[in-house]
Amino acid sequence: MKAIKAYGGLEKWGGPDMAPHYASAWAWTGNAPFKWGKQVASHLGGICNPMVVVWPKRMKDKGGLRSQFIHCTDVAPTILEAAGLPEPKEVNGVPQIPMHGVSFLSTFDDANAPSRHTQQYFEILGNRAMYKDGWIACWRLDRIP
C-alpha cells in the first residue's frame, strides 16, 4: 500500500504515470537468471537476450553457443558484411549517419573469436551500466520496479 500511495493512489493506476502489470516477484522470475526485472538494464534486465542465427551453408557448428558481447546495433553491420555490401552513405538521397555497431560475422566460423563490440552504454528508466571488455559498471535506481 505504501508504494501505491507513493504513486498517487489507486486512481492513478492505468494512467500515463503508472503501469502496474503484475507483481514484482513475477517480473523478477521472468528475468531469470538476471537480477531484478526487465526495466533494470544496469543488471542486464531487458538487454541480455538470446539470439538464434541459422545459415546451413556457412555455419558448421550446428547448435553451437557463443558468449561474445553483441548489441542490437551489430545486426545490420553483420548482414551487410555477410552480403558483401558496404554501409550505405545515402538512401534515396538522404545522407545516413554512420552505424554504431560492428559485425559479428567472425563468430559464425569461430566460437572463440574475440568480441569486436568492446564497449557499450545502456540505460532504461535511469538504471544504467557501462560494459567494457567483459566488465560491467552498473547503477540501479532505488525504487520499486
Answer yes or no: is 3 within a domain: no
Strand order in the sheet with 127-132: 119-124, 127-132, 135-139
The pTM (predicted TM-score) of the whole model is 0.70
Residue 47 counted as domain residue = yes
Q: Look at the chain and report how many structural domains it folds into.
A: 1
Burial class (CB in 10 A: 0-12, 13-18, 19+), 78: buried
The domain in which residue 100 lies consists of 31-139
Residue 65 lies in a domain: yes
32-80: per-residue pLDDT in tens?
777 777 677 767 766 777 788 999 899 988 888 998 999 999 999 999 9
Q: How far apart are CA 105 and CA 122, in angstroms?
A: 23
Given a cut of 70, whether residue 143 has pLDDT beyond it is no
